[in-house]
Chain A
Amino acid sequence: MTLRTPSRVSFPAVSAALAFSLALAGGAPAWAGTLKGSVKLPESARSSRLYQGYWRLENGNVPVQNSGGAKLETAVVLQNVNGAHPPPARTVTVEIGGLDAHPRMVITGPGSVIEIKNTGKVRLDLSTPETPSVMPLEQLPPGATRRAKFDAIGGYAIHDAEYPHIMISVIIVDSPFFATADEKGSFSIAGVPDAKVHLKVWARGRWAAEEEVEGGSKEDLIVKVAAPGQKEAEKEAEKEAAE
């Protein structure tokens, strides 16, 4: 066995390697990390249904499948991230058939176009009720397609007037730092700079929560979402208590 003597490394090569390493460190921030956490939805929002009736009972024989549906329409978005660039605009096609939308949530950059195809047998009346200027109420016959462009940063909920359960969430983000929550509400956003960022949670067609978080935090973040109307009620209660 022969021992190989280490070869001499030339200085220019070492210098070049060092310079490359430094340049690499400067281009991709060395302090970037992954923001992990979970979104705690209120009890009433943990259902796969958007709208509840009076009763929801298990059949007692076959285990129920409490997955999918509205539970998967939760997204966590970081805003005001320094140096972040929005995702490129693109065209996303959403098919509505069987009185359901696929996909139910689209997260994309400003200027994106949502193309909605009615593959079902019923006529649809789609609009963004909160921002009618973006997508006014318009009929979409079976087989027809409708396109809408979303330029402004924000969240949009496309509803059908006749079948409100058909809802498409469109979130236009200004950075690539976003993620959807899984069945348990967990999320993970990689490459978040070590700085304060603004975190917002989109759930069930609205911004459900927002807070300032440390991007470099290695602890699991827990974002609690209040039930609709609860936050306002708490604020009013605090105001009354202060008075």
Chain B
Amino acid sequence: MFLSKIWFILIALVSAVAGTFALVAPRPAVQKLAVLEGQRLDRAQYAAEQMFKVDAHKWIDRVSKLGRDAILSESLDAASRGSGEYTVIHRTIQDRFRTLIPDLATGGIDEIVALDNKGRVIARVGGSDEKEYGDYIGGVEVVADALRGYLSDDVWGVGGRLERVAGAPVLSKGKDRIVGALYVGAETGPGLVERLKKNLDVDVALLLRGKVIASSRPAGELDALPEMVTQHSAEIAELKRTPALPLTVGQDKLLVVAAPFPGQAGEQQAYYALLGMQPAKTDLGALLSNVSSNDLKWGNFPWVPLALVTFAMIAVGLILQRVEVEAPLGKLRRELQKLAAGDLQKIDDSKYGGKYGGLARDLNAAVERFTHAPGARSEMAGKDLNAILGPSGGSTFDLPSAGSAFSGSTPAPAFNPPAAPAFSSPAAPSFPPPPPGGFAPPPLPSFAPPPAPSFSAPSLPQPFSAAGLGSSSPALPLPSSIKPAPWAQQLPADALDDGAAADRQMPEGEATRVVPYDLQEEEDAHFRHVFDDFVETKRSCGEPTAGLTQAKFLQKLRDNKSALVAKHACRTVRFSVYVKDGKAALRATPIRE
């Protein structure tokens, strides 16, 4: 039982640890995944920044190349000098733009603008105000830079749109002076978002002045994003980007890294935000809901090791049960069956450990409690009896062996005669010797011996006197529970001892007469009863009873009783019938007191 308990505790602990591990283990993994996702977004932001830089350089190169066009140069030179027809110059430059870049949309260009050296717009291509010209925009920094001789870029947030621009000066034909400037604008909206998502494999959103102006996620999902980014504007100003920030969008949990656009759009809260998915939840429901059928396939799940471990655990548990519970229980049961059959006198409790050993000991104690341990002399007497009597009609006489469930120092209750003190001296009543250890003595009737009239027993049978009860026995003490028989009242008064009668203070006419205890008669009744039992037992065992007469049987019992009494100096002998090896047998029990 001990190992079984340990095993069950072990299994419970392993199960608890496994359950804990199953629930806790994903958490660090999820946290790690969140960190990795944040790092992925960081890298994506870096990549996006590099992409914007490359784009800016590409646009600067392109507009610079446009500025080297001779027709454009000459036209702007003329416009700056004020020579030539202004409208003609305007058209010339427009046509030239369209010739050089037939399809602006394919090139990703939103508009191209040519300016003279004072910052006046000479011509526009693309955009909503293509037909307008003549306005001054020299204050625009990228234009002013171009007119100073710089090639530069900028990002504008104009009209609710983001526009990346690149400007370059236009040099004279002799490349000795600046005759004007060009700038190109690239629309920065859904097209850029799509391209970023494709290149970076993350969702992208563009923000301008607290609004999402373009996003790769459905419209309205990211309404909380501008406010969240605004709250981290200080971090953005310092680090030029935010750390990975959690953002809940419906059922999705996102991570967001936002960074500002450079240029004057940065002053207009223009940001690009890269959005990644946060790892799934780690609770049990989320873990189970995320399990797919693919996860349970043979190749993906260790079914065989799991089954082996499970079967091994079950086998160990069953083996332990078998070894510690079933085997000793079966063994005990078999021993009990043997004990019941009389093949065993007691259970060998030393063979059992733990509670089964205790159970065996308890059983032994219980058996011994209801039986009597035979003394050495009784055993000897039993053996002698067997030797003397021998088989009787195929049956044997036997004495209970020591330790048997049927052994005992006192006669079996069925054959226990009334207590002998009836014939003992009331002054010195004798009691049975104390039983062996563990036995509680049968309660003796406690009574004060009444001043029963002692009587002479001239007619006592011989066995009675042979049993040591002579006329010297002063009186026959009777227990108070024993009522005198009705016929006892008819005994003549002279049957009572005179002295005793004189001592008695009985009312006249109410003298109690006690019937003397006839040992011989009682013994005859016992022998007859034994005979009846013996015959009945033989019949029940299927043994023949022919030739078995009561007279012979009784005579044999008397003879053997006399021999045993003489040999073992006991007062009398009691016989009992039992079945031994399928045959009726007699057991003799010497009675010493």
For chain A, residues 110 to 167, give those with C-beta under 8 angstroms from any C-beta of chain B: 120-121, 159, 161-166
A101 within 8 A of B: yes
Contact present for B268 and A161 (CB under 8 Å): yes
- Interface mask (B55-95 → A, CB under 8 Å = 1, otherwise 0): 01100100010000000000000000000000000000000
A11 at the interface (CB under 8 A from B): no
B223-263 interface code vs A (CB 8 A; 1 in, 0 out) = 00000000000000110000000000000000000000011
Distance A228 CA – B538 CA, assembled complex (angstroms): 123
- In whole angstroms, what is the CA distance A232 to B138 when docked? 35
Residue contact A62 to B178, C-beta cutoff 8 Å: yes
- In contact, A58 and B266 (Cβ under 8 angstroms): no
Does B53 sit within 8 A of A, measured CB to CB?
A: yes
Q: Does B148 contact A (CB under 8 A)?
A: yes
Shortest Cβ distance from B149 into A: residue: A64
Contact call A55/B151, Cβ cutoff below 8 A: yes
Q: Which of A48, A51, A97, A120 contacts B148 (CB 8 A)?
A: A48
Inter-chain contact A54/B140, CB cutoff 8 Å: no
In whole Å, how far is A179's beta carbon from the nearest beta carbon of chain B?
25
Instruction: Check if B535 is an interface residue, CB within 8 A of chain A.
Output: no
Indicate which residue in B138, B171, B209 contacts A61 across the interface (CB closer than 8 Å). B171
Decide yes or no: A99 and B171 within 8 Å by CB, A50-B264, A233-B238 being known contacts: no
Q: Which residues 380-428 in B have Cβ within 8 Å of A in the complex? A: none
Instruction: Pick the residue among A58, A65, A98 that contacts B136 (CB under 8 A).
Output: A98
Q: A64-107: which residues lie under 8 A (CB-CB) from chain B?
A: 64-66, 69, 97-101
Q: In the complex, what distance in Å separates the CA atom of A65 from the CA atom of B158?
A: 28
Q: Contact check: which of A63, A165, A232 meets B149 at CB < 8 Å?
A: A63
* Contact between A54 and B139, CB atoms less than 8 A apart: no
Q: Is chain A's binding surface mostly helix, strand, loop or mixed?
A: loop
B-facing residues in A25-79 (Cβ within 8 Å): 48-59, 61-66, 69
Interface members, chain A 190-242 (any B CB < 8 Å): 228-229, 232-233
Report chain A residues within 8 Å CB of B111.
none
A58–chain B nearest beta-carbon distance, Å: 6
Nearest-CB residue, chain A, relative to B147: A65
Query: How many residues of A are counted as interface, with CB atoms below 8 angstroms from the partner's CB atoms?
Result: 37
Q: Is the CB of B145 within 8 A of A58?
A: no
- What chain A residues lie within 8 Å of B144 (beta carbons)? 48-49, 69, 100
Inter-subunit contact B150/A58 (CB<8 Å): yes
Total A-B contacts with CB atoms under 8 angstroms apart: 121
A residues within 8 A CB of B326? none
B residues 99-156 near A (Cβ < 8 Å) are 119, 135-142, 144-145, 148-155
Docked-complex contact A165 and B150, CB < 8 angstroms: no
Given that A99-B137, A99-B138, A120-B135 are contacting pairs, would A58 and B154 also be in contact in the complex, using a CB cutoff of 8 Å? no
By a CB distance below 8 angstroms, the chain B residues around A52 are 152, 262-263
Q: Distance in Å from the Cβ of B154 to the closest Cβ of chain A?
A: 4
For A51, A61, A65, which residue has the most chain B Cβ atoms within 10 angstroms?
A51
Q: What are 9 contact pairs spanning A and B, CB under 8 A? A: A51-B262, A54-B262, A59-B178, A62-B171, A62-B176, A69-B144, A98-B137, A99-B137, A161-B209
B: which residues have CB within 8 A of A? 52-53, 56-57, 60, 64, 119, 135-142, 144-145, 148-155, 157-159, 168-169, 171, 175-178, 209, 237-238, 262-264, 266-268
Q: Which residues of A are in contact with B by a Cβ distance under 8 Å? A: 48-59, 61-66, 69, 97-101, 120-121, 159, 161-166, 228-229, 232-233
Knowing that A50-B141, A54-B56 are A-B contacts, what are 19 other residue pairs whose CB atoms are under 8 Å apart, sorted by A's residue number? Answer: A49-B141, A51-B141, A51-B263, A52-B152, A53-B56, A53-B152, A55-B151, A56-B152, A57-B150, A58-B150, A65-B149, A98-B119, A98-B136, A121-B135, A162-B157, A162-B158, A162-B159, A163-B139, A163-B140
